[in-house]
Amino acid sequence: MGNRLSKIYTRTGDKGETGLADGRRVAKDHPRVEAMGELDSLNSQLGLLLAELALEAPKSPGLSEIIEVLAPCQHRLFDLGGELAMPDYQALQKHEVQRLEAAIDLWNEELGPLQNFILPGGSRLIAQAHVCRSLARTAERRCQQLNAVEPLRPVGMAYVNRLSDLLFVAARLIARRTQVGEVLWQAVAKP
């Protein structure tokens, strides 16, 4: 594979526009660029979660499985960002959505039914998984905004939606496998 970036800065975006891979120039706040940016933010935070999980995995071996499931998600998010940058490019496939669904189903069997609302917290790992879940929802909303003006492939929309579900279940599983209590929502006491 040859060099992909020979120069990091080009000065072509200094006036608020950026180039897409198909040669179009769009405003940096265009819905397509917003969606790409949110996917990038999610990918960055997912990288942080994976790094934290790798540090903790020697003490909690059950975390290795979570790493194995989440690590490919970084690559698929990059693929989805590529699809947004190059509208004719199609990398993400339906089997990736099915892979996430299979993990959700498997992990939910271990966790059992949800009895209460859960707040982000309990440990840094659990909270970081919830940060990723929240960012996945934001990325999904940005993709929906773009989809309203420039239709996207349904598989990408489904992937981001399912990824947020997977991250919620992962946060719960991290709590269970590290033996940290989940932070349960407490309603305001009525006077």
What does the pLDDT profile of the chain (191 residues) look like in tens digits?
444 555 555 665 566 777 777 778 877 878 999 999 999 999 999 999 999 999 999 999 899 999 999 999 999 999 999 999 987 889 999 999 999 999 999 999 999 888 899 999 999 999 999 999 999 999 999 999 999 999 999 999 999 999 999 999 999 999 999 999 998 898 888 88
The domain at 25-108+125-182 falls in which architecture? Up-down Bundle (1.20)
pLDDT of residue 18: 72
pTM score, whole prediction: 0.89
pLDDT, one tens digit per residue, over 120-142 is 999 999 999 999 999 999 999 99
> What stretch of H or E contains 18?
strand 17-19
* 145-151 contacts at long range (C-beta below 8 A, 24 or more positions apart): 145/31, 145/34, 145/35, 146/31, 146/32, 146/34, 146/35, 146/84, 148/31, 149/31, 150/31, 150/32, 150/87
Q: Which residues of 129-161 are buried (b: 16+ CB within 10 A; e: fewer)?
A: bbbbbbbbbbbbebbeebbeeeebeebbbbbbb
Euclidean distance between CA atoms 70 and 65, whole angstroms: 9
Task: Count the neighbouring beta carbons within 10 Å of the beta carbon of residue 70.
Answer: 22
pLDDT, one tens digit per residue, over 15-24 is 677 777 777 8
